[in-house]
Structures are given as structure tokens and as C-alpha cells.
């Protein structure tokens, strides 16, 4: 349950940020890895420079507000699924406790 909820939240957050990255989703994930690797190997400034290059490509891209709204809905659905999973885990732990048996 937690994996599903986290996945929905992640997808929703990416959909909400659609105006901020100039790439398709796959290239966006690759770019995140590149920036992370640069930060580890070359330091924060190199990572920020890489992000600045990407931001220079993004100004012409307009936000798709419908996509952003669907992203917001997915974030909330992800939270709901995580809460439901936590409740089920709590109920399972209570039912499995020695006091209930």
C-alpha cells in the first residue's frame, strides 16, 4: 500500500511541475540522476549550473493547468492510500498482539 501511495504522490508531483522542466518524463528522470551525480562528484555549484542550463530551456513552455490539477488529485490520492495502508497495518498489529488473542 505504501509503495502505491508513494508512487501516486510522486507521479502527481511530477505532473504538477510540468511547466518547470523542458524534457519528457524519461529524460527528466535521467537529468535528475545527472544532477545528483554531479553534486556528489563535483559539488553543489556544478549541480546548480546543470540546473541553470535546463531552466534556460524551459521559459517557452507553458503550464498545462489540467495536467497540474490531475497531478494535485494524484498527490491527494497517494496520501489517502498511504493513510489507508497505515490504518490497515495498525489494525493488523493490534489483531496480532497477544492481548487480543
Cα separation, 18 vs 8, in Å, equals 16
Cα separation, 88 vs 74, in Å, equals 21
Q: How confident is the model at residue 101 (pLDDT cuts 50, 70, 90)?
A: low
Cα separation, 63 vs 68, in Å, equals 8
* Whether residue 100 has pLDDT greater than 70: no
Report yes or no on whether pTM surpasses 0.85: no
What is the pLDDT at residue 81?
A: 92
What is the pLDDT at residue 64?
A: 83
Average pLDDT of the chain is: 85
Mean pLDDT of 76-88: 91
Amino acid at each position: 500500500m505504501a509503495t502505491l501511495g508513494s508512487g501516486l504522490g510522486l507521479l502527481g508531483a511530477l505532473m504538477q511541475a510540468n511547466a518547470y522542466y523542458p524534457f519528457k518524463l524519461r529524460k527528466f528522470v535521467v537529468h535528475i540522476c545527472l544532477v545528483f551525480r554531479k553534486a556528489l562528484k563535483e559539488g553543489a555549484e556544478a549541480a546548480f549550473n546543470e540546473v541553470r542550463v535546463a531552466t534556460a530551456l524551459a521559459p517557452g513552455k507553458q503550464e498545462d493547468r489540467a495536467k497540474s490539477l490531475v497531478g494535485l488529485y494524484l498527490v491527494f490520492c497517494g496520501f489517502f492510500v498511504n493513510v489507508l495502508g497505515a490504518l490497515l497495518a495498525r489494525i493488523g498489529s493490534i489483531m496480532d498482539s497477544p492481548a487480543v488473542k
